[in-house]
Amino acid sequence: MLADEFGASIIPVRESLRQLEAEGLVQITPRRGAFVVSLTVDEVREVYRVREVLEAFATKEAVSALTAEDLEEMDALLVEMGQVASSDTSETWSRLNQTWHFKLYGGAQLPLLMQFISTLWDRCRLTSHVYARDVSHRSRSNEDHNRIMAAVHAGEANLAAEIIATHVRNAMDDILDQNLVEQPAEPSA
């Protein structure tokens, strides 16, 4: 039992599992337990297609609103991501990656939009951590991030949004190509 394993009371464990279920990350089955949800190919496509639109919109809205301090922080995050991109662990890079993206989107100052994007990122967490383990993916992402930042610094909102959309679409394609999601069951004859 999780509560015993972590030396915790059952109430916070139950509440945590319910929160994970509400976020679509866990499925609770009565008298059987809680199970990590696996995304299907169709779900990955849907989540990433919605992310593509929302994140491009957030980027376009953010470019003119980002402050010099925001840009400086984002540039520093890119340097850090570059330094850890080729290391053996992906956790630090994944955390920096999300921080960078959310700093960019947060510039739009649209809290509801940020909530939607955050929910979608939570859904993607099931595949993105596995995907981020690939050093070549981290390297390609960093190249995209640098191109996005160049457009942001130049005040080219449409270009930055276009690159973000392509960046998200490429991530989806790579995840599907690497078979990191459940394939639909074959129909029985």
Cα–Cα distance between 77 and 152 in angstroms, integer?
A: 15
Cα–Cα distance between 108 and 61 in angstroms, integer?
A: 5
Q: What average pLDDT does the segment 141-149 reach? A: 96
Residue 189 falls within a domain, yes or no? no
At 63-118, the pLDDT tens digits run 999 999 999 999 999 999 998 877 767 788 889 999 999 999 999 999 999 999 99
Confidence at 185, pLDDT banded by 50, 70, 90: very low
CATH number of the domain that residue 9 is part of: 1.10.10.10
Is 135 found in the same domain as 70? yes
Q: What average pLDDT does the segment 168-179 reach? A: 86
Residue 187 falls within a domain, yes or no? no
Is 166 found in the same domain as 94? yes
Residue 188 falls within a domain, yes or no? no
pLDDT above 70 as % of the chain? 80
Contact at 8 Å (CB) between 76 and 121? no
pLDDT of residue 118: 94
Q: Measured in Å, how far apart are the chain's first and last C-alpha atoms?
A: 40
Contact at 8 Å (CB) between 123 and 116? no
Is 105 found in the same domain as 31? no
Evaluated on CA atoms 174, 178, 184, 189, the torsion sign reads positive
Q: What's the domain range around 104?
A: 41-177
Q: What average pLDDT does the segment 27-36 reach? A: 73
Q: Which residues are CB-contacts of 188 (< 8 A; sequence separation ≥ 6)? A: none
pLDDT of residue 128: 66
Is 106 found in the same domain as 132? yes
Residue 83 falls within a domain, yes or no? yes
Is 29 found in the same domain as 122? no
Residue 184 falls within a domain, yes or no? no
At 52-64, the pLDDT tens digits run 999 999 999 999 9
Is 97 found in the same domain as 25? no
Q: What is the full DSSP assignment across 124-138?
A: HHHHHHHHHT-HHHH
Is 73 found in the same domain as 10? no
Is 99 found in the same domain as 26? no
Q: What average pLDDT does the segment 139-167 reach? A: 97
